[in-house]
Amino acid sequence: MTATFDEAVRSRLEAPHIWYVGTVFADGAPQVSPMWVDLEGENELSFNTSVGRVKEENLRRDPRVYLSHADADNPFDRVQISGEVVRFVEGQEAHDHMDRLARKYLGSDRFEWTMPGEERVAVIVRPLKVRHIVGVERFRPGGPVPAP
């Protein structure tokens, strides 16, 4: 089941914020990287990595991904997105995608840090759960009951 982005989350994804992207190692341990993220169409998001990076290998084995962003001025205003990779885009289209992210994040026409022989991969994610939390999160139903 696909989740949707409300306007507050959509505007956060449209802005040049750093997101923390979590993947899962084969042994179940988490792997987290700061990433540039963007909207992809109406209801998907994307980020870009390189062939052979840990996150790319983790996501090809296990498509589950988790993204988190906290507002710089109020870290208790945060967005959490759990999703799954729906496709990997490679070749020139992936390099073009990285250039698009460089325009958003750096204001430059091209991503200038590509290493010789590097193969870029755009990762397209379908959100399954989107949470926007401001302040202290309440306990889930059945959790501890606050003292009177």
pLDDT for residue 56: 97
Q: What is the pLDDT of residues 43-80, one digit of tens each?
A: 999 999 999 999 999 999 999 999 999 999 999 999 99
Residue 68 to residue 17: CA distance in whole angstroms: 11
Instruction: Give residue-wise pLDDT tens across range 77-131.
Output: 999 999 999 999 999 999 999 999 999 999 989 888 777 888 999 999 999 999 9
Domain 7-134 has CATH 3.20.20.210: no
Least-confidence region, from 4-13, 25-34, 133-142: 133-142
| Global confidence as pTM | 0.89
Phi-psi sector, 7: left (phi>0), alpha (psi -120 to 50), beta: alpha
User: Rounded to whole angstroms, what are the CA distances from 6 to 48, 99, 132?
Assistant: 23, 27, 9
Domain boundaries, the chain: 7-134
Helices marked H in 39-136: 54-61, 92-106
pLDDT per position as a tens digit, 125-148: 999 999 998 987 777 787 776 666
Q: What is the largest CA-CA distance in the chain?
A: 63
Tokens of 36: 């540039």
pLDDT at 94: 94
Confidence (pLDDT) at 135: 82
Cβ contact 86:126 at 8 Å: yes
Q: Which residues contact 127 (CB under 8 A, 6 or more apart)?
A: 2, 3, 4, 5, 43, 44, 45, 81, 82, 83
